[in-house]
Every structure is written in structure tokens, then in C-alpha cells.
Copies of this chain bind each other. A is one copy, B any other.
Amino acid sequence: MTADTKQVIMDTARAMVQARGYSGLSFRELAKEVGVKSASIHYHFPTKGDLGAALARRYADEAIEIFDAFLEASPDIGACMRKYTDVFRSALSNNNRMCLCGIMAAEHDDLPAEVRAEVDRFTDVNIRWLIKLLSRGKSKAAAGAIAQRALAIFAAVEGAQLVARGRGDIAVYDQAIEAYRTAGLLP
């Protein structure tokens, strides 16, 4: 029955970072939200960098699982891509939040090294998955062109999220994604 405090801390912290960024995450606010004292957060995560890195690490790990499940569930490239963009959409629909690593990328310069490393890994995870998806069928397609396109898709999706968040209007995200598809950027 023990609602593992450490997990509750991580869940709450993730939500707060997705809303206000890494620099906007405060131990005191986080503790209050969780229902403990800030010293208890430090017990589980000695430094803020430890917490941030743990968040980004779990985020990237979960992304691998979720995305790979898409590939296994459907052989259709377009269907998988729609599921992919829907994942980023769901962050916005959850109180106008952003991708954890997208918002952290904006804070790049202020991030502790261990956090930055995990954020980078999230980007890698996405691009590798997109490459895997785009490579389906095209057994002999130029690897370079596919990698470039995967990178562009990831960037475009993150950008759509960023702009839609700024507008506070999820319809902006939907419109951008639709335009990407119309233009042929998305399969």
C-alpha cells in the first residue's frame, strides 16, 4: 500500500518541469505538492541535478518502450507516425505542458552536465526510432537522406509543440502537424 514516495516525487517533479522548466522546479514547491518536506526530497535525490537526470532518464526509457510498441502494433508507417505525433500532442492536452526534454533543451546552457546528457539521449532515442520507421520497406534507401528527414521530423514536432504552447492553443499543434503531412514531411 506504500505509495512509494520516490515515485510520487518523480511523477510530480516531471509534471512540474513539463510546465515550468528545470529552472522553475523548486524543492520546496515540489515537496509541498508531494506532501513531504524538502529535506526528504534531498534524501532521495541528493542534488537537483540528480533529480533532473533521473527524470530525463526515465522519460527517455519510457519513450523507447512506448514508441517500440507502436512499431510492433502496426505495420503501417502513417499509422505509427500518427501515434507518434499524438504522444507529443498529449503533453499539450495535459494542461498545456511540453515535452520534458523539449523544454529542457531550451535551458541547455544552465543544465547540469548529467541532466544534459540524458536530454541528449532522448533526442537520440527519437531520431533512431524515426529512422527505423522511415526505413520500413525502403530497404535500399539512402541512409543519409532518411537520417536527415528523421531529424527534421523530430525538430518540426518539437517546434509545433513549442509554438502551440506559446499560443496556449492545441489547435495550433494540430494545424502544424496537418501542414507537415500535406507538405509531405510526414509520411
Interface residues, chain A, with chain B CB atoms under 8 Å away: 19-21, 23-24, 96, 98, 101-103, 105-110, 119-120, 123, 145, 148-149, 151-152, 154-168, 172, 175-176, 178-180, 182-185
Closest CB-CB distance, A106 to chain B, in whole Å?
A: 4
Assuming the contacts A24-B110, A185-B183, asked whether A176 and B152 have C-beta atoms less than 8 A apart, the reply is yes
B108 touches A166 (CB 8 A): yes
Instruction: Tell me, rounded to whole Å, the shortest Cβ–Cβ distance linking A173 to chain B.
Output: 8
Tell me if B167 and A148 are in contact (CB < 8 A). no
A20–B157 touching, CB < 8 Å: no
Report if A106-B185 is in contact (Cβ < 8 Å); known contacts: A162-B162, A176-B151, A176-B155: no
Nearest-neighbor residue (CB-CB) of A160 within chain B: B155
**Complex Cα distance A167/B105, Å?**
9
The one of B105, B108, B166, B180 that contacts A105, using a Cβ cutoff of 8 Å: B166
Residues of B within 8 A of A156 (CB): 152, 155-156, 159-160, 176, 180, 185
- Selected from B20, B123, B148, B175, the residue in CB contact (under 8 A) with A179 is B148
Q: Per a CB cutoff under 8 Å, which of B21, B109, B152 touches A106?
A: B21
Let me know if B160 and A148 touch, CB within 8 A: no
Instruction: Contact check, B158 vs A163: say whether CB atoms are below 8 A apart.
Output: yes
Bound Cα distance from A175 to B145, whole angstroms: 10
